[in-house]
Structure 1
Amino acid sequence: MSDIKVDGFKGSETLAALAQVFEGYSDEEKKAHIKKTNGIFELRLKNGSGEEGVWTIDLKNTGSVYKGAAKTKPNVTILMSDETFGLLAAGKLDGQKAFMTGKLKTKGNMMFATKLDGVLKAAKAKAKL
């Protein structure tokens, strides 16, 4: 899972923890999450140095998190700062508020992006992120 963590991106630690949660799911739990979410999130985070990191949360095919662009067309690409992602993951910032204030941008199915909050909350409960 260390390939998910990237120096200079605090959000990568959250994504690595999320990947561990997914790996810990039983086949039934994984299938339930895939059925509930049924889609792929591509996250593009910019850190304080202006570098961009790309991660994918696949809850359509594999039920996994990996570093890099989505292997198949994502339902939504979400662009935000590493800091904004940290606040979202911690539950300190609402995704809709972030979108409305321009801190979060989407390409693709904007309504699907709202499911990310549920994915993060479910994983947070399981991993104590």
Structure 2
Amino acid sequence: MSADLKEEGFQASEVLVAIATSFAGLSEDEKKAQIKKVNAIFELQLKNGSGKTGTWTIDLKKTGSVYKGPAKPKADVTIIMDDATFVDLASGKLDGQKAFMTGKLKAKGNIMLATKLDSVFKSAQGKAKAKL
């Protein structure tokens, strides 16, 4: 499953693998609680240093999973940023609101849901930090 998330040239793919791994480690009850708390599908459109764009989806509305490609069904919020910004957000080096205010992060759809992505990062952070 995690190998499907890897994308050459994207540091973010390591973080997404860590998030997927943390979801996989949850019991059904924990996963249901996380889905109930977040209740959103996030589509991430990331651009790396060489200008290539990669798309991943974090589904915390239906399945509690992470996959590569556009959201199916439609995302509640689409978040657009560069690869390095995503890694900084996930590691806690950068605040989401600051990234949004400074134009490093753009969001389409229900922008308020984008704030919930922070809790997703925090729950996976222990595992993600080990990877960074």
**Secondary structure of the corresponding residue to residue 70 of structure 2:** coil
Shift of 1:6: 0.7
Match of 1:39 in 2: 40
Amino acid in structure 1 at the alignment position of 2:13: S
Moved over 6 A (4+): none
Distance 2:91 2:124 in 1: 11
Aligned length: 128
Q: Distance in 2 between matches of 1:22 and 1:116?
A: 14
Q: Matched residues in 1 for 2:128 and 2:93: separation?
A: 15
When normalised by structure 2's length, the TM-score is 0.95
Give the Å deviation of 1:33.
0.2
Q: Which amino acid aligns with 1:114?
A: T
**TM-score, normalised by the number of residues in structure 1:** 0.97
CA RMSD of superposed structures (Å)? 0.8
* CA drift at 1:23: 0.7
Q: Which amino acid aligns with 2:112?
A: M
Give the C-alpha shift of residue 73 in structure 1.
1.0
Following the alignment from structure 1 to structure 2, what is the Cα–Cα distance between the partners of residues 114 and 128?
19
AA in 2 matched with 1:49: S
Following superposition, the deviation at residue 122 of structure 1 comes to 1.1
Gaps of 5+ in 1: none
**Structure 2 residues not aligned, in runs of 5+:** none
Aligned pairs for 1:1-129 (under 5 A) are 1-125=2-126, 127-129=127-129
The letter for the 1-side match of 2:41 is I
Query: In the alignment, is the contact (CA less than 8 A) between 2:19 and 2:128 conserved in 1?
Result: no
